[in-house]
Chain A
Amino acid sequence: DTAVSQTPKYLVTQMGNDKSIKCEQNLGHDTMYWYKQDSKKFLKIMFSYNNKELIINETVPNRFSPKSPDKAHLNLHINSLELGDSAVYFCASSGIAGRERETQYFGPGTRLLVL
């Protein structure tokens, strides 16, 4: 059973297009995150949602818009894609108490390549 899943796994698209990445977790967690990992492997937090409410919104272009239809899903929509958006995007989730709250569980990642 996949705990945190993302679709698609790979995404190749042209500059200027709009695309979405979907994330689902079946761990019963109530906080979900989007990270961007660049070619040097540095993980940068983009957004965090707790029970469908935005709690972290780091400095990212407003072309990126997260949407959380329910606490098990967090999608990422990207408008007007640019070359610099090429990266691996990870979804993660965390729970409400103890170790589940203090650690995060990651999905397999979506590799985005903008041409």
Chain B
Amino acid sequence: QKEVEQDPGPLSVPEGAIVSLNCTYSNSAFQYFMWYRQYSRKGPELLMYTYSSGNKEDGRFTAQVDKSSKYISLFIRDSQPSDSATYLCAMSRMDSNYQLIWGAGTKLIIKP
């Protein structure tokens, strides 16, 4: 079993829809949770960062961490074609030198 599980998709939704992307993990010691966005033929870029449990909002994006369920989510409101990309979750902990453990990435397609 992988430490971090993420459905690779693809996930195809119409423009304007609310998108929900998720990851589950097995190691309860993870403390830092991130979502990266990767456009085709580009490097991953940090989209959202959360420490421990809770919600964080940035514009149309909301990241949620539920440590009791070992589950993290990324919500995208009013999705746009420009949001079409691969979304990768990543997490780390202090006692492993903050090495990032990655999900497989979910390919998201927003149809105009």
Select A48's contact among B45, B86, B99, beta carbons within 8 Å: B99
Spot the interface stretch: A12-20, A63-71, A77-85, A106-114.
Answer: A106-114
The number of residues on chain A lying at the interface, defined by a beta carbon within 8 Å of a beta carbon of chain B, is 23
Q: How far is the CA of A42 from the CA of B92 in the complex (A)?
A: 17
> How many contacts A-B (CB < 8 Å)?
53
Within the complex, which residue of B46, B51, B100, B104 is in contact with A40, where a contact is CB–CB below 8 Å?
Answer: B104
Chain A residue at minimum C-beta to C-beta distance from B97: A55
* A108 and B104 contact, CB distance less than 8 A: no
- Within 8 Å CB of A108, what residues of B? 42-43
Please give, as numbers and ranges, the residues of chain A lying within 8 Å of B8 by CB-CB distance: 40-41
Kindly identify which residue among B32, B104, B107 contacts A102, using a CB–CB cutoff of 8 Å. Answer: B32
Query: What separation, in Å, do the CA atoms of A93 and B10 have in the docked complex?
Result: 29
Residue contact A109 to B104, C-beta cutoff 8 Å:
no
Interface string of A56-74 (1 = CB under 8 A from B): 1000000000000000000
Interface residues in A21-44 (C-beta closer than 8 Å to B): 40-43
Residues of A within 8 A of B41 (CB): 109, 111
Which chain B residue has the least Cβ–Cβ distance from A107? B43
A104 at the interface (CB under 8 A from B): yes
* A54 within 8 A of partner (CB): no
User: Is B102 positioned at the interface, with any CB of A under 8 Å from its CB?
Assistant: yes
Contact B88 A43 (CB under 8 A): yes
Question: Which residue on A lies nearest to B44, using beta carbons?
Answer: A106
